[in-house]
Amino acid sequence: MSVRREAGGAGGRRKVEPDPEVRAAILAAASRIVDAEGVGALGVAKVLDRAQLSTRAFYRHFGSKDELVSALFLEMARAERLRLRQRMDTAADPVRAVAAWIDARLDLALNARTRSDLRKMSLEAQAQMSATPELIGPAYAEILLPLVEELRRGRDGGLFPDIDPETEGLSIQAVVWAAVERHWSTGGSVPGELRSHVQRFCLRGLGVAPETIAAVIAGGTGR
């Protein structure tokens, strides 16, 4: 752990500045608790006990438990955004990039190689989105960012006529997550068929021509 940095405070007192390493240690401890027990088990004292830090250290970096929860999901979302963007960067055009985003998000349910902690955190995020959307909203915006960018690019290039990228992004996320939850609850979906169905449904809603959709599904998304 790095040495704490100090700066002048009010009345000449020395104020210890936030330390990125301490913040990371708090987030790591919180992540382990959520992964093992869920968000409901998260508490400031429990996090600090696991991280071996003081209450003062916590409140130097986070104003409340809710702020910690929001930061935790935002960290997860940034990692997920990078994963999505890497998959989308191989796409030849916005249509295939959108299909790649859908495919990558479906990996949460269909690809055993997808990290189990990412699956658990995604479930927790979805549950928290219903209860406290103000905490999870920034994380969802991060995950949707590459999708919205490609939707905007496709709209501007005439591939997705008359769409609102932000609205369509939320709609696509809802469709994908519904498919993921259904697969997790029933386990009855054939992976290839589920991917094709979701991609076809979403691309058709964007106004993509049937022959283009068929070509995208037949050609895969670069995985």
The residue length of the chain stands at 223
The DSSP code for 12 is G
Q: In this prediction, what percent of the chain has a pLDDT beyond 90?
A: 49
Mean of the per-residue pLDDT values for the chain?
A: 84
The DSSP letter of residue 18 is P
Q: How confident is the model at residue 108 (pLDDT cuts 50, 70, 90)?
A: confident
What is the spatial distance between Cα 19 and Cα 41, in angstroms, rounded to a whole number?
25
Write out pLDDT tens, residues 109-127.
777 666 556 666 666 676 6
- Name the fold adopted by 11-63: Arc Repressor Mutant, subunit A (1.10.10)
Give the C-alpha separation, 183 to 75, whole Å: 26
In 3-state terms, what secondary structure has residue 5? coil
Average pLDDT over residues 1-29: 65
pLDDT digits (tens, 9 = 90+) for 132-184: 777 778 888 999 999 999 999 999 999 999 999 999 999 999 999 888 888 87
Name the strand (E) or helix (H) holding 16.
strand 14-16
The confidence score (pLDDT) of residue 222 equals 46
Query: How far is Cα 156 from Cα 135, in angstroms, rounded to an integer?
Result: 32
Q: Does 30 score more than 70 pLDDT? A: yes
Domain with CATH 1.10.10.60 in the chain: 11-63
Q: Give the rounded distance of the alpha carbon of 28 from its chain centre.
A: 17
- Here the tokens at position 93 are 């055009």
CATH topology of domain 73-219: Tetracycline Repressor; domain 2 (1.10.357)
- Residue range(s) in the chain whose domain bears CATH number 1.10.357: 73-219
* DSSP codes of every residue in 158-175: TSSTT--HHHHHHHHHHH
- Quickly state the pLDDT bin for 190 (edges 50, 70, 90): confident
The pLDDT of residue 143: 92
Q: Where are the alpha helices (DSSP H) in the chain?
A: 20-37, 44-51, 55-61, 65-88, 94-110, 116-131, 133-156, 165-186, 191-205, 210-219
Instruction: Report whether 98 contacts 85 (CB < 8 A).
Output: no
Reading the block at residue 82, the tokens are 């990078």
pLDDT confidence bin for 10, thresholds 50/70/90 = very low
pLDDT one-digit tens code per residue, 57-85: 999 999 988 889 889 888 888 988 998 99
